[in-house]
Every structure is written in structure tokens, then in C-alpha cells.
């Protein structure tokens, strides 16, 4: 049977950054907001302590590290996720059929059913499926065949019963 849509996706740093951003802006949205409020509060308290009691190397270093972590959260999460990726999963071909989709890597082939998808999102380059607070799959729009992006968006919204979120 011929697939309705196909994607070739390279799982590189840009792909992982998009997946991390999708998680942060969808299923982790409340947790992320609370973490950022807490983090920036700690930065403010640290800065106040530097002004009140004088600069301490450890305090200033902690403030800088915290600011960098807050500003580059998606990149940090992407880097850690890439480190956990198994060899052979750097490239995936995914074929979408009426009742399922199939992803193939150098390690093997896996079949998925649309009812397992908990959220769908997209950015400029990827469609992203969300399965939990830590599991996603990305599909490169630039290496898509079988139809247009609008066709795929409508197809996946119909199959999952979810609305595509723009991130």
C-alpha cells in the first residue's frame, strides 16, 4: 500500500530544539511558567544580595549560570536529549497511512497509531507529535512528499481529533 504522506527527518540540534520548544509551549506550559517565575525571582534575590552584602564570586557565578539556563532552556534540553539518542536514530523515514504511520531508522521500524498522540504542534520547519511531557517526534516539512503542508495538517487533525498548535 502506498503511503499518503512521507517525511525524511534528520534528528539534529535544530530538530531537537524545535521538539524542546514544542514541549515547553504545550504540555509543559504551566510547569515552565512556574519555573521561569521562580528562576527570575532567584536572580533578583541574588542581585539584591550582591548589592546589599557585596559581590561574592559564587553568588555572581550562580546568577550568571541561572540566567543562561533560563535564556537557553530549549537548547540545553535539546543538547541533553541528543546525548541520550541511540546510535542509528539520526535519520528517520516516516510513512503515513489511513489507519497508522510507520517510522524507520537504521535500528528498526516501528508502527504507531494516531490515538497515541496527545498533542500536535508545528513551527516553520517541523510538524511535532507530543506523546508525554518528555516524548515527541518531529517531521521535517522541507522533506515531505505526498501532498501539501495544509493537506497533512488537515489529515493529522482529523485522525487525532486534535488541533494543530503553532509554536
Q: What is the pLDDT along the chain (167 residues), one digit of tens a residue?
A: 899 999 999 999 999 999 999 999 999 889 999 999 999 999 999 999 999 999 999 999 999 999 999 999 999 999 999 999 999 999 999 999 999 999 999 999 999 999 999 999 999 999 999 999 989 999 999 999 999 999 999 999 999 999 999 99
Give me the sheet containing 119-122, strands edge to edge. 136-140, 126-130, 119-122, 165-166
pLDDT of 102 reads 96
pLDDT of 67 reads 96
- Name the CA radius of gyration of the chain, rounded: 20
pLDDT of 89 reads 93
Amino acid at each position: 500500500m502506498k503511503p499518503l504522506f512521507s517525511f525524511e527527518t534528520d534528528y539534529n540540534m535544530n530538530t531537537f530544539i524545535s521538539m524542546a520548544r514544542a514541549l515547553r509551549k504545550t504540555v509543559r506550559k504551566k510547569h515552565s511558567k512556574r519555573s521561569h517565575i521562580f528562576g527570575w525571582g532567584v536572580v533578583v534575590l541574588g542581585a539584591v544580595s550582591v548589592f546589599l552584602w557585596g559581590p561574592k564570586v559564587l553568588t555572581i557565578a550562580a546568577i550568571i549560570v541561572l540566567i543562561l539556563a533560563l535564556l537557553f532552556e530549549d537548547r540545553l534540553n535539546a543538547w541533553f536529549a541528543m546525548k541520550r539518542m541511540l546510535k542509528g536514530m539520526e535519520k528517520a523515514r516516516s510513512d503515513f497511512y489511513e489507519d497508522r504511520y510507520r517510522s524507520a531508522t537504521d535500528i528498526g521500524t516501528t508502527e504507531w497509531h494516531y490515538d497515541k498522540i496527545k498533542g500536535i504542534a508545528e513551527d516553520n520547519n517541523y510538524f511535532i507529535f507530543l506523546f508525554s511531557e518528555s516524548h515527541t517526534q518531529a517531521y521535517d516539512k522541507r522533506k515531505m512528499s505526498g501532498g501539501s503542508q495544509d493537506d497533512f495538517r488537515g489529515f493529522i487533525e482529523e485522525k487525532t481529533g486534535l488541533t494543530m498548535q503553532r509554536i
